[in-house]
Structure 1
């Protein structure tokens, strides 16, 4: 597993756990504000559990965050606050969530266009992160294979350009060094 994939996976887990904790705290505040906390029996317990159940362990919150990110055109970037990461977090909590699966599928074309744009803009590390994110959803898609090939080719071009610049700088230093000798 690559280092960036490890951190992206770890980041999603942290976000999911944080959202679950937020739901539990919110349920407690709600129960306390309705005056049903003392003893937590009867309607107080039912009220708190129904509030937590409504969000399906944070799934509702994650879906809302994903919808907001989609509306703001944050499909795969920035890291940690994009629709794909939120939907993938939903699928970690609820692997059968049809809404998350449908939204990931529907936004795939636009998200892959964002990856290609990052490659074209020579933002290769960001493109790699975004590509890895899309591969978490669909490992077998040919578009991702093409984008992976394009990313590799762009990395090779960048390496050759860097090597050419280094050679030119070295040649310039050598000519300056030999020109100053008597």
Structure 2
């Protein structure tokens, strides 16, 4: 008696479905690794500039993700799912990609305003991350220098406020300690 036949009917169904799923995943991975004709024609049909080989579909996918992020106003945030990161990834695959370069230039004023908003909201770690992202694209831009100065000033102000609060708490604890000794 075979091992499969000795399993209960439910277990046989589960094993069969699992094997079918495994084969389907294997075929999908094989097709994807070969850069199947369907993904290449989709990129070409979308009008996205392409590169050669397997990078072709990667660039197209990243450009589509970036376009979606722009339409959803996710230029520099959240981390890992924003237009700037997608466009910069495109440029890693295709450094001369005109679509990515143009979109990065066009969205720069709004993206830098997002960084300034994060600074004004005292979300300084996020502002630092976003500023670093913009500097990855254009490290010589004077607006980024100004934002960097504003971020540093805001950090200094926050440090002074924290020190003042700590000093006030320490003074309060000392006065409470002196009052209990009397």
The two structures have a TM-score, normalised by structure 1, of 0.74
Query: CA–CA distance in 2 between the matches of 1:143 and 1:70?
Result: 21
| Residue aligning to 1:175 | 175
User: 1:8 — aligned with what?
Assistant: none
Alignment match, 1:40:
none
How far has the Cα of 1:57 moved from its partner?
Answer: 4.2
Alignment partner of 1:28 out of 24, 28, 31:
31
1:102-144 Cα offsets, whole Å, 9 max, x none, are 0000000000000000000000000000000000000000000
Q: Tell me which residue corresponds to 2:114.
A: 114
**Cα distance in 2, alignment partners of residues 26 and 59 from structure 1:** 18
Structure 1: tracts of 5 or more residues without a match? 1-23, 30-44
Aligned to 1:58: 58
Gap change, CA 1:27 and 1:87, over 3 Å in 2: farther
Give the number of equivalent residue pairs.
143
| Alignment pair present for 1:124 and 2:111 | no
Larger radius of gyration, structure 1 or 2?
2
How big is the shift at 1:28? 1.2
Deviation at 1:177, TM superposition (A): 0.1
Greater RCO (CA < 8 Å, at least 6 residues apart): 1
Which residue of the partner structure matches residue 76 of structure 1? Answer: 76
Q: CA RMSD in A?
A: 2.1
Contact 1:70 1:83 in 2 (8 A): yes
Q: For residues 106 and 63 of structure 1, what CA distance do their matches in structure 2 show?
A: 15
1:27 to 1:103, Cα distance in 2 relative to 1, 3 A: farther
CA contact 1:27–1:52 (8 Å) conserved in 2:
no
Deviations, residues 56-111 of structure 1 (Å, cap 9, x unaligned) = 04000000000000000000000000000000000001111010000000000000
Partner of 1:90: 90
Matches of 1:26 and 1:92, distance apart in 2: 24
1:146 maps to which residue? 146
Q: Residue 116 of structure 1 contacts residue 127 of structure 1 at CA under 8 Å; is this kept in 2?
A: yes
Find out whether 1:158 has 2:154 as its counterpart: no
Matched residues in 1 for 2:96 and 2:40: separation? 17
Structure 2, unmatched stretches of 5+, are 1-26, 44-55
Q: Distance in 2 between matches of 1:75 and 1:157?
A: 27
Task: Name the CA shift for 1:166/1:129 in 2 (closer, same or farther; >3 Å).
Answer: same
